[in-house]
Amino acid sequence: MTLNWHPYQHWRMVREMVEVLVIFGLVGWVCLTLLESLSRQPFFPALVAAAVLCPVFSIRDYRHLRQTRQLYGMSLKRDPIPPERFYWIAQRTRLRRTYLFFGILSALAWVNTAVLPASSAADLPSIVGWLNAFVGILTLSRVISAATLFFNASQWFDAMSPRIVGLLRQAMYKLSDNYEYLAPKRRDPEKEKVY
């Protein structure tokens, strides 16, 4: 069995590989330039602290929010039952308000951190800057955890929500005619009649 290999295909493949390498190189250069310019700022230690602490606090807060918002079934990897669907209507608006409110607080705290830099000095503006950075870290963690829980819970109840996901799924369905992109969930009638 012989393969017909045309020189044009080889050069096309090389050209596409070079394009991908150029794109990755450009994105990497932009990221390094941004990090280099941020490292010169006096509030850079606060950004490093946020990069380390925010994921830890967000994971802890995500678990806490999932329990307080009565979304226990998400951790059990099962379909939602009617009481959870009933609670979700109220919890959805609360979660949305939570991440919007804490998002505004986080933005204000990080602006204050930039104005009063949280540097390594031990003077009053630096201490106030570190307090602002700490508030920024806590509020950003709450924003991340609440937004993640909102997205995951929305997907748990309805594969077509949040709205942007539904629009993307409909676009993929129209492009491919694959019904699985619409991801309908069928409810078990036996579970429904208990409630």
Confidence of residue 188 (pLDDT cuts 50, 70, 90): low
Q: What is the pLDDT of residue 146?
A: 92
Q: Give the model confidence (pLDDT) of 162-172 as tens digits.
A: 777 777 777 77
- CA angle 131–136–142, rounded 5-degree value: 130
Cβ count within 10 A of residue 133: 25
Asked whether residue 102 carries a pLDDT value surpassing 60, the answer given is: yes
Q: Give the model confidence (pLDDT) of 122-158 as tens digits.
A: 788 788 888 999 999 999 999 999 999 888 888 777 7
Which residues touch 183 (CB under 8 Å, ≥6 apart)? 159, 160, 169
Domain boundaries, the chain: 7-40, 42-157
